[in-house]
Amino acid sequence: MLDLTRMEQAFQTYGKQFDLEDINIKRKYYHSLRVMENCKKIAEALFQTEEEKKLLILIGYLHDIGRFKQFSVQHSSFDNKKMDHAEYGVKVLFDENVIEDFIDTHQYDEIIKKAIFYHNKMELPSSLTKQEEIYCKAIKDADKLDLFYLASHDPHLNNFYELPYVEGAKLNPLVKQEFDQRHLVTNSHRQTALDKLAAILAFVYDLNFEVSKTQVTEDTINNIIDTFLTFFQVKDKEECEYLRTSILKYKKQEN
């Protein structure tokens, strides 16, 4: 029932409806493909059956499908009350029946809906079934792993960070508080590119599975911070080094 070739072709067909020369749309197209690859690795560690593995791969393709129209409509990746890309992705798939291009059964609809809807939320509801919870956690991990990759490999880092870099700026106190408490950073608390750097690094605190945690190494952290320092030509490095020290200390404790 789950056909990997069909998934790939359906994703390519859907993505090509949009302007892949647009930096933001192109980024999300290839981000989705890398998240799908991350899902393959995570699925091998979590699941026994091929059907279970393929379902997570499908969710990897679909998790950001709402981004394409979001960028086309509002030319921004900022989620707001008018358009949350995860919620919009569920509407695109199930209200517009786009899901039927990818899969010929509706038996997995609830898992797919919830995995996509909650992939960008800070917390998961207690009402999820065990099966729903594992897929929700898996796609959140797969997504975060690629954001770590983008933070050191994206060719348009100024666009990736979105917020302005301000030389000498300190972390927003609310961001620093969440970071120090080893929590995810609330999007609305971010004011500068430095705050977004902290938010990305804080993803380390929210990885769910060992297969995901082992992919984020000391080199991963150093590459993200060193890339930030170089790209923005940071002169006052104190805040960045504070973030580095804190995350590396956490990683050592984790091991």
Backbone CA torsion sign across 120, 124, 140, 4: negative
Q: How far apart are CA 148 and CA 201, in angstroms?
A: 8
Q: How far apart are CA 233 and CA 165, in angstroms?
A: 10
Q: What is the pTM of this model?
A: 0.94
Q: If pLDDT is split at 50, 70 and 90, which confidence band does 79 have? A: low
Q: What is the pLDDT of residue 77?
A: 59
Using the predicted structure, report yes or no on whether residue 50 has a pLDDT greater than 60.
yes
The domain ranges of the chain are 4-140, 156-254
Average pLDDT of the segment spanning 64-86: 74
Q: How far apart are CA 26 and CA 72, in angstroms?
A: 12
Using the predicted structure, report yes or no on whether residue 80 has a pLDDT greater than 60.
no
Q: What is the pLDDT of residue 70?
A: 79
Using the predicted structure, report yes or no on whether residue 34 has a pLDDT greater than 70.
yes
Using the predicted structure, report yes or no on whether residue 255 has a pLDDT greater than 70.
no
Q: If pLDDT is split at 50, 70 and 90, which confidence band does 197 have? A: very high
CA 218 to chain centre: 20
Q: What is the pLDDT of residue 69?
A: 82
Record the tokens describing residue 85, joined without a space.
Answer: 């890309």
> What percentage of the chain has pLDDT greater than the value 90?
90
Q: pLDDT, tens digit, for every residue of 117-171? A: 999 999 999 999 999 999 999 999 999 999 999 999 999 999 999 999 999 999 9
Q: pLDDT, tens digit, for every residue of 90-106? A: 999 999 999 999 999 99
Average pLDDT of the segment spanning 61-80: 77
3-state SS track over the chain: CCCHHHHHHHHHHHHCCCCCCCHHHHHHHHHHHHHHHHHHHHHHHHCCCHHHHHHHHHHHHHCCHHHHHHHHHHCCCCCCCCCCHHHHHHHHHHCCCHHHHCCCCCCCHHHHHHHHHHCCCCCCCCCCCHHHHHHHHHHHHHHHHHHHHHHHHCCCHHHHHCCCCCCCCCCCHHHHHHHHCCCCCCHHHCCCHHHHHHHHHHHHHHCCCHHHHCCCCHHHHHHHHHHHHHHCCCCCCHHHHHHHHHHHHHHHHHC
Q: What is the pLDDT of residue 206?
A: 97
Q: What is the pLDDT of residue 89?
A: 94
Q: If pLDDT is split at 50, 70 and 90, which confidence band does 76 have? A: low
> What percentage of the chain has pLDDT greater than the value 70?
96
Domain boundaries 4-140, corresponding CATH code: 1.10.3210
Nearest to 9 by CA among 58, 43, 50: 58
Burial of 213 (0-12, 13-18, 19+ CB in 10 A): middle
Nearest to 157 by CA among 229, 217, 237: 229
Q: How far apart are CA 108 and CA 101, in angstroms?
A: 14
Average pLDDT of the segment spanning 170-196: 97
